Amino acid sequence: MVLTCYNRSEYIKEAILSVFAQDYDGPMQLVIVDDASTDDSVRIIEETVQEHGAGWDVEIVKLKQNLGVAGATDAGWAKAKHDWILMVDGDDVQMPERCRLLAEAVCKHPDVVQVSFAMKCIDEQGHEFNTLSYGVMRYDQSPNELYIGTPAENKENLFGSNSGRIRCVGAAFSRIVKDAWGPLCQDETENLRFEQDPTLAFRAALMGPVLGWRNIGLAYRMHSSNLSNFRLTPGVAGIMQFERHQEKYQSFHAASIVCMLRDLERARHNPTLTNWPSELLEQAKEKLEQELSGCQLRSMWWSVSYLERLRRSVFDWKRFRHSGTSLLRLLPFRLFCLLKYWSKR
């Protein structure tokens, strides 16, 4: 289990204790990577391991400079010893049966290279408010397991619009993926900021079958400081927070797609990395390039002023309607929200 942490002093102890509470009786290892936190995370990590980690194989990696989640993931994966690697966030809570359930899934489907679990959603105080499936379908409508086996099915799972798709959140990956592809950041000098989960899931899908497992594997903590969860804050304050984060989020996602395109080129020239035929690889490239173009347009939209957005909503709306930017964001409603926010202050 590779646990990455950056400034999670409020949650990190609970996250580590949930790993120590696993009921799996096979060999396990915990690698904790602190990504140069500036709060008390390191102290809490060391104290928690010392007080509660007796009998556990634990390695703490303290990075001297912040590498981002991808760099921290690479540092953790480099220390991983066993056949399967479970990704753990420093603010989430693992269900005690997660490792055991993973072992059961892998024994039933020994050819899979990724297993995704369902998850509970908890707020900052740890209160449960939702349950998410391993895929994009509703939890109560999802089958007990969803096996994606062929290259065509994997391609559809990654880029299709069907409701049976498997997500990469809460995923575990076979060591086969690590050994074949190597680090996420290919150049040791690069310090890229991108999403590690979809990049790893893309690599796994190129290599072999993936599995969605309906059992709940973790409690996923959603709070406003998470880059992808900033819309949780209600009211005008939430709208403003959403505005401030969008440019960064779109750039973050665009960097992930650039990494996927790079991996796709590696797979095209190295058949040991994929079992996809060339026509599926070409279709995947087209899909990624389209998504990258959309991300760049959305990033450009969020980087300009409100008045410029208002001008574009009148004179340039056709260009942005294909980028995934909703009509609501093109209307003067955003300017109204900004004025309302200033008036309250």
pLDDT tens figures, 162-195: 656 888 878 999 999 999 999 988 765 455 667 7
CA 291 to each of CA 162, 210, 256, 260: distance values in angstroms, whole numbers, following the listed order = 17, 23, 11, 11
Give yes or no for residue 4 having a pLDDT over 80: yes
pTM: 0.84
Task: Say whether both 161 and 291 belong to one domain.
Answer: no
| DSSP symbols for 167-188 | PSTTEEEEHHHHHHH--SS-ST
Task: Say whether both 283 and 300 belong to one domain.
Answer: yes
Question: 84-89 and 2-5 as β-strands: parallel, antiparallel, unpaired?
Answer: parallel
Task: Say whether both 131 and 238 belong to one domain.
Answer: no
What is the pLDDT, as a whole number, of residue 179? 95
Pull the structure tokens for residue 274: 């994929």
Q: What H or E segment, with its residue span, contains residue 40?
A: none
Task: Say whether both 71 and 206 belong to one domain.
Answer: yes
Task: Say whether both 178 and 255 belong to one domain.
Answer: no
Please list the helix, strand and coil fractions of the chain in percent, rounded to the nearest 5, in that order: 50, 15, 35
What sign does the CA torsion over 213, 214, 218, 220 have? positive
The residue among 206, 223, 240 that closes a domain is 223
- The answer to whether residues 165 and 135 touch, using CB atoms and an 8 Å cutoff, is yes
Task: Say whether both 204 and 56 belong to one domain.
Answer: yes
- 168: domain CATH number? 3.90.550.10
Stretch 1-27: mean pLDDT: 96
Task: Say whether both 180 and 247 belong to one domain.
Answer: no
The residue among 202, 223, 244 that closes a domain is 223
By mean pLDDT, which of 111-115, 210-214, 328-332 is the weakest? 328-332
What is the pLDDT, as a whole number, of residue 324? 47
Give yes or no for residue 332 having a pLDDT over 50: no
Stretch 84-105: mean pLDDT: 95
The residue among 223, 249, 284 that closes a domain is 223
Provide the domain count of the chain.
2
Task: Say whether both 190 and 263 belong to one domain.
Answer: no
What's the half-sphere exposure (Cβ side, CA atoms, 13 Å) at 265? 6
Task: Say whether both 74 and 155 belong to one domain.
Answer: yes
Higher pLDDT, 86 or 249: 86
What is the pLDDT, as a whole number, of residue 330? 47
Task: Say whether both 187 and 63 belong to one domain.
Answer: yes
Stretch 272-289: mean pLDDT: 95
Task: Say whether both 184 and 74 belong to one domain.
Answer: yes
What is the pLDDT, as a whole number, of residue 126? 87
Percent of the chain topping pLDDT 90 = 58
Segments forming the whole domain that contains residue 315? 231-344
The string over 246-277, giving b where at least 16 C-beta atoms fall within 10 Å of a residue's C-beta and e elsewhere, is bbebbbbbbbbbbbbbebbebbeeeeebbebe
Stretch 61-81: mean pLDDT: 93
Give yes or no for residue 278 having a pLDDT over 70: yes
Task: Say whether both 211 and 235 belong to one domain.
Answer: no
Give yes or no for residue 240 having a pLDDT over 50: yes
